[in-house]
């Protein structure tokens, strides 16, 4: 069969490949090697997230203005329904409730949209995955990074609202940085997990909005868990409060709203925040890596 | 011992791709139960039977070959003979049922259907594609103009700054080829890419393929166009019904193939 006579005749395929240093195609690299490859693509990850961010509104006439207008409109809708119609502000003055609500909406949206983008990170970019070789974790990480940049735009709106309702910048605002780092790690971990699940079962993208909405209403985005759940058992309230979404929201509110004191935070709140971030990020990364060779197949 | 072997081996006989008794089986879900209604989908999920309602398609049956550095290998055969499947297995995108594929480095598959990112401009796609292939930012910046010029996208106006969804299929295919060809690949696989694009671009891409081969790569080309195979390849694999029917110099195999197809 061989078209040319070869001095390697007689060697089996395995021996021949070993002799010339060939490797099995499509094999998954080890975890350390994978992290090294991923680090090599850090410019790609950053450029991809920025490109996606600007492409998002490329078809809109107002263009990049929507980066800021979208979160603002979101906050207005929630304020109308929960602040004006349902009066969920129980126990809070208007000066606290409005920043409370807007912070909650923005912080939760950060996690929510990271997950929604993560589900489609592989299944929505099959063209790219099938055409070029790169560590696939670049995609979910890049989408989480895109949401972080989106949140930074929202933060501009948030600062204006918070200052408008009488909470002025103070030293506690510095806490924003560690809070965002922890939440970003948490979101990235979740995005990696759902990216693997979504790659195998694209139906997840249909199911996700319902799960996320349930999570949102249970996390106290528009009401204070401790006030609303008064009279319920202690364990129940604590369970609601250690929910990672609630933890990051409450920490952010504590950091920037003057009238929102430490009494609203569950005990060991920083430990809980760090725990969720590290466990989800490391767990999610390993979980995603384990299926590396299977993405884009079928 | 190793040195002795290297002396005996002429430079052009360094293997880059080895396929060893490769079998590929597709599993198609729900092809047997036919109806595709919601109830049958639900019963499939509930039953979870491995083989129930799953049809197997044996696309590649025991193909073995060795491709060498500097070779351009054409893949021919009628529709559905397993050519594209074989390429995707070499690229490591499809798992082998039995047998193995060994490759030197990471093979890159360039398919006509593989779109990059449609909502981004051509400019962004060039930069992102380069970065995704593992080029550094400096390398991408250096090669950027070269890639755009090669693709010829800007010949009819400033199209590179428009989103890729506005491109014609020919323009998109040209840009994709230009991005992938900008890097020196150990193994580059092209699926019908030369069939798209106008005559001028075809000539240019054939030239580039020759260059890639010189820089010590191996090129695989799937095409139904016997002329482009003849112009670019020196060896041809003929697949029929998933089996390797013939493997040899281009002229010999093409002659038999043309007899077979009745041309």
The 10s digit of each residue's pLDDT in A187-202 is 999 999 999 999 888 8
Contacts of A207 in chain B (CB under 8 A): none
Which of A80-84, B46-50, B151-155, B193-197 is least confident?
Answer: B46-50
pLDDT at B53: 60
- Determine the distance in angstroms separating the CA of B225 from the nearest CA of chain A, rounded to an integer: 22
The answer to whether residue A163 scores a pLDDT higher than 80 is yes
Band (B119; pLDDT cuts 50, 70, 90): confident
What number is the average pLDDT over the span A221-226?
81
pLDDT at A215: 93
In this predicted model, which residue has the larger pLDDT, B139 or B170? Answer: B139
In this predicted model, which residue has the larger pLDDT, A47 or A1? Answer: A47
Does residue B178 form part of some domain? Answer: yes
Does residue B170 form part of some domain? Answer: yes
pLDDT at A181: 96
The answer to whether residue A75 scores a pLDDT higher than 70 is yes
Q: What is the pLDDT of residues A247-280, one digit of tens each?
A: 999 999 999 988 888 888 888 999 999 999 999 9
In this predicted model, which residue has the larger pLDDT, B10 or B137? Answer: B137
Q: With CB atoms and an 8 Å threshold, state whether A4 touches B64.
A: no
Which of A9-23, A104-118, B53-67, B132-146 is least confident?
Answer: A9-23
Provide the 3-class DSSP secondary structure of residue B14: coil
**Which among A16, A25, A43 has CB closest to B137?**
A43
Q: With CB atoms and an 8 Å threshold, state whether A51 touches B124.
A: yes
The answer to whether residue B151 scores a pLDDT higher than 70 is yes
- Return mean pLDDT, chain A: 86
Best interface-test mutation with A: which of B29, B126, B132 has the largest number of A CBs within 10 A? B132
Which sequence spans correspond to the domains of chain A? 30-294
Q: With CB atoms and an 8 Å threshold, state whether B132 touches A44.
A: yes
- Return mean pLDDT, chain B: 79
Does residue B141 form part of some domain? Answer: yes
Q: With CB atoms and an 8 Å threshold, state whether A7 touches B9.
A: yes
Residue B72 belongs to a domain with what CATH number? 3.40.50.300
Does residue B28 form part of some domain? Answer: no
**Which among A19, A25, A48 has CB closest to B91?**
A25
- Determine the distance in angstroms separating the CA of A146 from the nearest CA of chain B, rounded to an integer: 15
The answer to whether residue A119 scores a pLDDT higher than 90 is yes
Q: With CB atoms and an 8 Å threshold, state whether B111 touches A19.
A: no
Band (B35; pLDDT cuts 50, 70, 90): low
Q: With CB atoms and an 8 Å threshold, state whether B111 touches A131.
A: yes
Does residue B49 form part of some domain? Answer: no
- Determine the distance in angstroms separating the CA of A281 from the nearest CA of chain B, rounded to an integer: 23
Q: What is the pLDDT of residues A5-50, one digit of tens each?
A: 556 666 777 788 777 777 787 778 899 999 999 998 999 999 999 8
Q: What is the pLDDT of residues A79-97, one digit of tens each?
A: 888 778 877 777 778 788 8
Band (B9; pLDDT cuts 50, 70, 90): very low
Band (A175; pLDDT cuts 50, 70, 90): very high
Q: What angle do CA B148, B154, B157 make, to 5 degrees?
A: 160
pLDDT over 90, % of chain A: 41
Best interface-test mutation with B: which of A3, A4, A16 has the largest number of B CBs within 10 A? A3
Task: Please choose, from the candidates B79, B80, B75, B25, the residue with its C-alpha nearest in 3D space to the C-alpha of residue B246.
Answer: B75
In this predicted model, which residue has the larger pLDDT, B86 or B55? Answer: B86
A192 class by beta-carbon count within 10 Å (0-12 exposed, 13-18 middle, 19+ buried) = buried
CA atoms of B116 and A129, how far apart (whole Å):
9
In this predicted model, which residue has the larger pLDDT, A186 or B10? Answer: A186
pLDDT at B6: 41
pLDDT at B5: 42
Q: With CB atoms and an 8 Å threshold, state whether A55 touches B163.
A: yes
A242 class by beta-carbon count within 10 Å (0-12 exposed, 13-18 middle, 19+ buried) = middle
Contact A28, A293 (CB under 8 A): yes
Q: What is the pLDDT of residues A46-74, one digit of tens each?
A: 999 988 888 887 777 777 788 788 888 88
**Which among A23, A134, A293 has CB closest to B134?**
A134
Does residue B191 form part of some domain? Answer: yes
Domains held by chain B: number: 1
Q: What is the pLDDT of residues B172-204, one digit of tens each?
A: 878 888 887 787 778 888 877 555 667 788 788
Task: Please choose, from the candidates A107, A110, A139, the residue with its C-alpha nearest in 3D space to the C-alpha of residue A122.
Answer: A139
What number is the average pLDDT over the span B135-140?
89
Does residue B72 form part of some domain? Answer: yes
The answer to whether residue B1 scores a pLDDT higher than 50 is no
pLDDT at A141: 96
Contacts of A134 in chain B (CB under 8 A): 132-134
CA atoms of A229 and A222, how far apart (whole Å):
13
What number is the average pLDDT over the span B9-24?
77
Q: With CB atoms and an 8 Å threshold, state whether A7 touches B8.
A: yes
**Structure-token match 């003055």, residue found:** A93
Band (B36; pLDDT cuts 50, 70, 90): low
A87 touches chain B (CB under 8 A): no
CA atoms of B175 and B149, how far apart (whole Å):
10
Domain that holds residue B143: 67-95+105-261
A19 touches chain B (CB under 8 A): yes
Task: Please choose, from the candidates A257, A269, A100, the residue with its C-alpha nearest in 3D space to the C-alpha of residue A178.
Answer: A269
Q: With CB atoms and an 8 Å threshold, state whether A1 touches B247.
A: yes
The answer to whether residue B165 scores a pLDDT higher than 80 is yes
Band (B45; pLDDT cuts 50, 70, 90): low
Distances (CA, A) of B128 to A27, A52, A233, A251, B7: 24, 11, 53, 36, 42
Ordered strands of the B15-29 beta sheet: A23-24, B98-103, B15-29, B54-68
The answer to whether residue A132 scores a pLDDT higher than 50 is yes
Q: What angle do CA B60, B63, B66 make, to 5 degrees?
A: 140
């Amino acid at each position: 069969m061989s078209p040319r006579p070869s001095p390697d005749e007689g060697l089996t395929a395995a021996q021949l490949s070993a002799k010339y240093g060939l490797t099995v195609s499509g094999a998954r690299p080890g975890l350390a090697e994978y992290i090294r490859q991923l680090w090599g693509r850090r410019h790609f990850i950053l450029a991809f997230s920025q490109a996606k961010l600007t492409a998002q509104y490329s078809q809109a006439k107002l263009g990049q203005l929507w980066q800021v207008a979208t979160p603002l409109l979101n906050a207005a809708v929630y304020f109308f329904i929960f602040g004006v119609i349902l009066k969920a502000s129980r126990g809070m003055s208007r000066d606290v409730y409005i920043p409370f609500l807007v912070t909650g909406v923005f912080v939760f949206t950060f996690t929510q949209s990271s997950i929604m983008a993560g589900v489609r990170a592989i299944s929505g970019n099959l063209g790219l995955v099938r055409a070029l070789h790169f560590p696939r974790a670049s995609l979910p990480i890049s989408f989480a990074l895109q949401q972080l940049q989106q949140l930074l735009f929202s933060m501009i709106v948030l600062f204006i609202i918070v200052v408008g309702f009488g909470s002025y910048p103070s030293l506690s605002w510095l806490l924003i940085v560690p809070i965002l780092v922890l939440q970003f790690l948490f979101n990235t971990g979740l995005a990696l997990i759902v990216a693997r699940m979504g790659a195998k079962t694209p139906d997840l993208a249909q199911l996700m909005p319902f799960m996320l909405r349930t999570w949102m209403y249970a996390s106290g985005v528009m009401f204070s868990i401790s006030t609303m759940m008064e009279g319920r058992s202690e364990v129940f309230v604590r369970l609601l409060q250690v929910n990672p979404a609630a933890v990051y929201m409450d920490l952010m509110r504590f950091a920037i709203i003057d009238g929102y004191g430490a009494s609203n935070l569950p005990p060991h709140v920083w430990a809980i925040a760090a725990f969720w971030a590290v466990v989800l990020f490391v767990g999610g990364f390993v979980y995603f890596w384990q299926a590396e060779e299977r993405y884009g197949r079928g | 011992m190793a040195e002795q072997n290297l002396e005996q081996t002429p430079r052009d006989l360094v293997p880059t791709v080895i396929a060893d008794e490769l079998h590929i089986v597709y599993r198609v879900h729900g092809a047997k139960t036919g109806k595709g209604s919601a109830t049958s989908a639900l019963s499939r999920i509930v039953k979870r039977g491995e083989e129930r309602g799953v049809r197997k398609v044996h696309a590649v049956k025991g193909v073995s070959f060795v491709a060498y550095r500097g070779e351009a290998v054409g893949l021919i055969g009628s529709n559905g003979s397993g050519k594209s499947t074989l390429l995707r297995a070499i690229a490591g995108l499809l798992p082998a049922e039995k047998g193995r594929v060994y490759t030197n480095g990471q093979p890159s598959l360039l398919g006509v259907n593989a779109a990059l990112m449609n909502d981004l401009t051509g400019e962004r796609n060039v930069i992102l594609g380069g970065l995704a292939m593992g080029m550094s930012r400096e390398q991408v910046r250096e090669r950027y103009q070269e890639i755009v010029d090669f693709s010829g996208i800007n010949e009819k106006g400033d199209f590179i700054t428009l989103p890729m969804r506005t491109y014609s299929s020919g323009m998109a295919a040209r840009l994709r080829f230009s991005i992938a060809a900008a890097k020196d690949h150990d193994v580059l696989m092209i699926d019908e890419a030369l069939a798209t694009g106008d005559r001028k671009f075809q000539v240019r891409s054939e030239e580039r393929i020759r260059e890639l081969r010189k820089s010590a790569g191996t090129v695989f080309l799937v095409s139904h166009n016997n002329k482009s195979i003849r112009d670019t390849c020196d060896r041809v694999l003929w697949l029929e019904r998933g089996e390797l029917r013939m493997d040899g110099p281009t002229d010999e195999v093409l002659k038999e193939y043309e007899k077979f197809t009745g041309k």
